[in-house]
Amino acid sequence: MKDTEGYVTADGRQIGGVLMEMRNITLKFGGVVAIKDISFDIREGEVRAIIGPNGAGKSSMLNIISGFYTPSEGEVWYKGEKRPPMKPYEVARQGVARTFQNIALFEGMTVLDNIMTGRLTHMSAGLVSQAMWWGKARDEEIANREKVEEVIDFLEIQSIRKTPVGRLPYGLKKRVELARALAAEPSILLLDEPMAGMNVEEKEDMSRFILDVNDEFGTTIALIEHDMGVVMDISDRVVVMDYGKKIGDGTPDEVRNNQDVIDAYLGVQH
């Protein structure tokens, strides 16, 4: 275990110890090396961004964190323990929630049902109780509905509660997806390009929500984003990847002045 003291951000927030640590992660698909020997950590309460040009391996990294891919080499440490190989749903039950680059909502269900689905890791009533709609199942349904309503209030989507998700516009779908992830009350929230395809106003809204979530619930957030302006504004520390390798790691200012990062983004003269 490395240091657990944390640090204080530029705007005065206290960041805690290491929540998740990636140690020498390598990911291979047959002969293709998607990620090569990358290590970094995510600290409690921070907004951590992963950036890099197309094909740098950012999404693969997120998929490793959420358990969708198993790294070929290297270890994932979570809450001070080495994480054994596990199924994605087990990772989710440990408090890792995520959103997707291409929206992955359940189109046939209403907004409310989608967000309620996010709470299913908190529900445990048995088949019989659920069939009777009595006892534990009923209490759980009501208690979790209250939690879900808090999230709905927070993200300002009260008016579309009972709308089927398929009818919503893109920006709102992204917000509902965030709500579904938030409803799980995760320890760490992974956002895969939360602002892709949004206009400036929607991006501002989304940035505000991300910061509010971090502020209000103290949720640790790891996000991938292409919009440099947004990333530099909202994140505390940034990992920069290029061709599967880590080329920079630090505060937005450090990264901005890193020669390797500038080369990767602007190209280098040969």
Partner 1 sequence: MLYRTAGQFKTSYTADQALFPIRQDAYLLGIILIFAWVVFPLTASEFTFQTLLIPILIYSLAAMGLNILTGYAGQLSLGTAAFMGVGAYACYKMVTIMPWMNPVVAILLSGVFSAGVGVAFGIPSLRIKGFYLAIATLAAQFFLVWLFEKWAWLYNYNASGAIQVPNLKMFGVYIAGPQADSMIQYFVVLGIVTLLTLLCINLTRGNLGRTWKATRDMDIAAELIGINLMKSKLTAFMVSSYVVGVAGALFVFMWRGAAEPNLFDIPLSFRILFIAIIGGLGSIMGNYLGAILIVGLPVVLNTLPQTLGIPISSAMVEHLNIMIIGSLIIFFLIIEPHGLARLWALIREKLIIWPFPY
The reply on whether position 98 binds partner 1 by CB under 8 A is yes
Instruction: Report the 3 state secondary structure along the chain.
Output: CCCCCCEECCCCCEECCEEEEEEEEEEEECCEEEEEEEEEEEECCCEEEEECCCCCCHHHHHHHHCCCCCCCEEEEEECCEECCCCCHHHHHHCCEEECCCCCCCCCCCEHHHHHHHHCHHHCCCCHHHHHHCCCHHHHHHHHHHHHHHHHHHHCCCHHHCCCEHHHCCHHHHHHHHHHHHHHCCCCEEEEECCCCCCCHHHHHHHHHHHHHHHHHHCCEEEEECCCHHHHHHHCCEEEEEECCEEEEEECHHHHHCCHHHHHHHHCCCC
Residue list 160-219, contact with partner 1 (CB under 8 A): 180-181, 184
Beta bridge partners of 238: 49, 250
In the complex with partner 1, the residue whose CB is nearer, 184 or 234, is 184
Q: Looking at 9, 39, 101, 130, which residue binds partner 1 (CB under 8 A)?
A: 130
**137 to 156: interface string for partner 1, x by CB under 8 A:** x--xxx--xx--x-------
In the complex with partner 1, the residue whose CB is nearer, 123 or 232, is 123
Nearest distance from C-beta of residue 159 to partner 1, angstroms:
15
**100 to 129: interface string for partner 1, x by CB under 8 A:** x---xxxxxx---x--xxx-xx-x-x-x--
In the complex with partner 1, the residue whose CB is nearer, 157 or 264, is 157
Q: Is-contact 65 39, C-beta < 8 A?
A: no
In the complex with partner 1, the residue whose CB is nearer, 16 or 164, is 164
In the complex with partner 1, the residue whose CB is nearer, 74 or 164, is 164
In the complex with partner 1, the residue whose CB is nearer, 43 or 175, is 175
The reply on whether position 9 binds partner 1 by CB under 8 A is no
**35 to 74: interface string for partner 1, x by CB under 8 A:** -------------------------------xxx------
By the criterion CB under 8 A, which residues form the site for partner 1? 66-68, 87-89, 92-93, 97-98, 100, 104-109, 113, 116-118, 120-121, 123, 125, 127, 130-133, 137, 140-142, 145-146, 149, 180-181, 184
